[in-house]
Amino acid sequence: MRYTRTAISLHWLIALMLFGMFGFGLYMVELPLSPQKLKLYSYHKWAGVTVFLLVLVRLAWRATHTPPELPAGMPAWQVTAAKAGHHLLYLLMVIVPLSGWLMSSAKGFQTVWFGVLPLPDLLPKDEALGNALLLAHRLLNWFFMLVVAGHVGAALKHHWVDRDGLMQRMLPRSRT
């Protein structure tokens, strides 16, 4: 049994955006303060809000569509690890963008989605809190990258070592 087309599409769209966001975030924080850096931060925030909204759609889809069962012969510890890993990924996909939004609010920089839709500040301006949230956002992102690496590693192990068809459930079907 496979995931639905919607689940597969959301998985890969969000995955591509997250990989882009990780790289983009690492790049932009190293830049000197300039109008270009501020513009890149705006793009990063737009993408973060977009990922957050897509994750909400994905969570709603997941709540209303049962995922396929894991392979029958899979050891119990792997089933537990897979379920825990997925829950952690979903949690981080919500917490990381929220931490960025909270940080931006506390630092006094309103998030304006695509430069058109101003989002409400979630916190009043507070420099100390903003700096603490900046650290939290960075640490959460590094942790997120580790969890994603574990997820990718497990998928590749199931594909290349176990050859149990687990990864094919989430791959787009080829036209051939």
Which residue, among 93, 100, 25, has the nearest Cα to 62 in the 3D structure?
93
- Residue 131 is predicted with a pLDDT of 98
Domain ranges of the chain: 5-170
Q: For the whole model, what pTM was predicted?
A: 0.93
Q: Are 137 and 99 within 8 A, CB to CB? A: yes
**pLDDT greater than 90 at residue 13:** yes
Q: What architecture (CATH level 2) is domain 5-170? A: Up-down Bundle (1.20)
Q: What is the dihedral of CA 129, 132, 133, 135, to 10 degrees?
A: 160
What is the three-class DSSP state of 118?
strand
- Per-residue pLDDT of 40-90, as tens digits, reads 999 999 999 999 999 999 999 999 999 999 998 999 999 999 999 999 999
Q: Phi/psi class of residue 114: alpha, beta or left (left: φ > 0; alpha: ψ in -120 to 50)? A: left
- Per-residue pLDDT of 127-165, as tens digits, reads 999 999 999 999 999 999 999 999 999 999 999 999 999
Task: Over range 117-126, report the average pLDDT.
Answer: 97
Which residue, among 99, 138, 95, has the nearest Cα to 122 in the 3D structure?
99
